[in-house]
């Protein structure tokens, strides 16, 4: 099978400290700045671990995800978990 330009991966990360829509927007804004990221969503869990879902051409370096979430003011918990590759 020949490689295509449409290949993407989706990886879930867990972040704590998010409490509202503004928190979600801050994380989305910072993570979206990482090279190769094409989409970011956040499943907000107030008082718990929110899921940050990152889609892109490849899995971003965990250090980049950690730095982006830290820049937004929150904490990345553990490593990412790849949920799909297409």
Residue with the bigger pLDDT between 83 and 86: it is 83
Domain around 32: 26-85
Is 16 part of any domain? no
Question: Does residue 1 have a pLDDT over 60?
Answer: no
What percentage of residues in the chain have a pLDDT greater than 90?
76
Q: What one-character DSSP code corresponds to residue 7?
A: -
Asked, for residue 4, whether it belongs to a domain, the answer is no
Domain count within the chain? 1
**Model pLDDT for residues 35-67, shown as the tens digit of each residue:** 999 999 999 999 999 999 999 988 899 999 999
Query: According to the model, what pLDDT value does residue 63 have?
Result: 96
In what side-by-side order are the strands of the sheet with 49-56?
37-43, 49-56, 9-16, 75-85
Q: b/e for 15-31, b at 16 or more Cβ within 10 A?
A: beebeeeebbebbbebb
């Amino acid at each position: 099978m020949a490689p295509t330009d449409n290949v993407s991966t989706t990886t879930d990360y867990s972040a704590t400290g998010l409490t509202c829509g503004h928190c979600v927007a801050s994380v989305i804004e910072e993570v979206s700045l990482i090279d190769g990221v094409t989409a970011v969503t956040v499943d907000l869990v107030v008082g718990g671990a929110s899921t940050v879902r990152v889609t892109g051409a490849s899995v971003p370096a965990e250090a980049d995800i950690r730095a982006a979430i830290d820049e937004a003011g929150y904490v990345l918990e553990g490593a990412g978990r790849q949920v799909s590759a297409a």
